[in-house]
Amino acid sequence: MKAIIVDDERLARTELRRLLAPFKEIDIIAEAVNAKDAVEKITQLNPDLLFLDIQMPGKNGFELLEELESAPEVIFTTAYDEYALKAFEFNALDYLLKPIEPHRLEEAIKRVTTKTKAEKFISTEKQYLTAEDQVFVKDGDRCWFVKLAEIRLFESEGNYARLYFNDFKPLILRTLNSLDERLDPRTFFRVNRKHIVNLKWIDNIEPWLNGGLLVKLKGGQKVEVSRRQSVKFRDMLSL
């Protein structure tokens, strides 16, 4: 499993490397000293896992993750305990307090490897859900059995996702990343970190800020396509 250590303190990076040495399944492919450095290396090297400090000069660890279209698995490593709740809003696998205790690091690595093995098993078994598939949706006391073709937009809200179809906007306990892995990419496109759109519901496309695009859906919503995803979007829809 390829990993990057992101921490502005050299001694902290060195100590974490030492603690990780016994775990042969973890391959430290790079270190980053701040958010800008990390984004560049994550984009270039595509790691599976980040060991991420929170308090750093410039942008903090949370702001770093917000810049990424799709983040790797994350284990936060920090000297501050007050960010734990927010960390798990970013789907963190674990939250390790410095100085890191070896047994806590071992627990975190076990959690990573267990999740990875489970995802690999699921990926060999799964098939994409197509627009013609129907899914059961439950939000509180309300339930729907809806065809995916009718869902025009998926919107991330932490560990939940909001679905938009007809006049309904139910919230389900699914991350946008997990939905992105299951939905047919020929119909559903991840336009940015927070949204997946149904391509068949796009009514209009126009240029937007910083080389991005703005799509207007038939349901009325306007959603920005990030600059990076705009390149993929144009390639996919061009002749």
**Residue 91 backbone class (left: φ over 0; alpha: ψ -120 to 50; beta: rest):** left
CATH 3.40.50.2300 corresponds to the domain 2-125: yes
Q: What's the pTM?
A: 0.57
Locate 19 and state its tokens. 């603690």
Q: What is the pLDDT of residue 124?
A: 47
d(CA 233, CA 227): 10
Q: What is the structure's pLDDT at 91? A: 77
Name the residue among 192, 188, 185, 186 with its Cα closest to residue 229.
Answer: 192
- Residue owning tokens 């599976």: 48
Give the CATH fold of the 134-237 domain. Answer: OB fold (Dihydrolipoamide Acetyltransferase, E2P) (2.40.50)
H or E segment to which residue 144 belongs: strand 142-147
Q: Cβ distance 109 to 193 under 8 Å?
A: no
> What's the pLDDT at 85?
83
Q: 10-residue block means of pLDDT along the chain (239 residues)? A: 96 96 95 95 92 94 86 90 83 90 94 75 63 89 92 92 95 90 92 94 90 89 90 79
The domain segmentation of the chain, as residue ranges, is 2-125, 134-237
